Amino acid sequence: MSFEDILDSLFTYFNVSSISELSDKLGVSQPAISKWKSRNSISAIKKKCRELGIYQEIFGDSQINNLQNSSFNDNAAGVVNGNQANINNINSSSDFKNCDGLTKELVKKLCILYKDDQIKLQSKLFELIEDANKSN
């Protein structure tokens, strides 16, 4: 998804037609958005969308597809999506062979705690993955 695609999604979501109007909706200055655009700063707009609680609405399934196409498989994506069958299979999954028991239990606990707000859990997990990718 390009920065222009993201801007288009934001314009549609907020039903606005200018960067000035969008800046009001996002609670940032117009120059800030212009800088994001000139620098193609997708991470800045992702961060703002997370802060506003609209990350899933703007980025939707593209992030889930990216996760599924990464080093994780459908079991990991299923855990993120709260699929109970996959949560139950986490201990036997070969994708989690490098995880100790505590890590596996923590992932399961997160899925249980966020069962009513999976979008929030997904956003936090995606942020953690992006931060880890930047570090490596």
Q: Which two tokens stand for residue 96?
A: 């989690």
d(CA 136, CA 132): 6
Residue 97: per-residue pLDDT = 67
Residue 103: per-residue pLDDT = 77
Question: What predicted TM-score, i.e. pTM, was given to this entire model?
Answer: 0.47
Cβ atoms 50, 123 nearer than 8 A: yes
Asked if residue 47 and residue 76 are part of one domain, the reply reads no
Domain that holds residue 12: 1-52
Asked if residue 103 and residue 81 are part of one domain, the reply reads yes
Please, what are the averages of pLDDT over each run of 10 residues along the chain (136 residues)?
85 90 93 91 89 83 46 43 48 62 78 79 82 76
Cβ atoms 104, 91 nearer than 8 A: yes
Asked if residue 79 and residue 48 are part of one domain, the reply reads no
